[in-house]
Amino acid sequence: MKIETNLVPLVLEIPPKGVLRQSFKAEGRRSAGEEILAQAVYTLVFGVPAGVLSAWLYDQIKHHKNKSGFRFRINEKEATDFTEDSFKRTIEREIELERK
């Protein structure tokens, strides 16, 4: 699952056991008025439930989700509902789609 966000520290965090961060990068320059966007690709080890990744991601964004300008994309789709249940369902649904 690919995520893109302007919360750069998120992609630098070590994910929980059973979640692999395959790649990450950051683009943009703050000095030119352009926001910095970070991308990361995560996969789950076989047998690890999608809830492990969704809970960890929500825990990482919960203090930033209401800040002006916060952006979060999941597999190229802009996330707009950051209530805990909805966010976790969205992440879990995207993971299940990838598993098929």
Q: What is the pLDDT of residues 12-24, one digit of tens each?
A: 899 999 999 988 8
Q: Which of 69, 67, 4 is nearest to 34 (CA)?
A: 69
| CA 88 vs CA 25, 27, 56: distances in Å | 24, 26, 9
Per-residue pLDDT band for 33 (boundaries 50, 70, 90) equals low
Task: Please give the C-alpha separations between residue 31 and each of 24, 36, 85, in angstroms, as whole numbers.
Answer: 22, 10, 36
Q: pLDDT digit string (tens) for 66-99?
A: 988 899 999 999 998 999 999 999 999 999 888 8
Q: For residue 32, how far is the Cα from the chain centroid?
A: 25
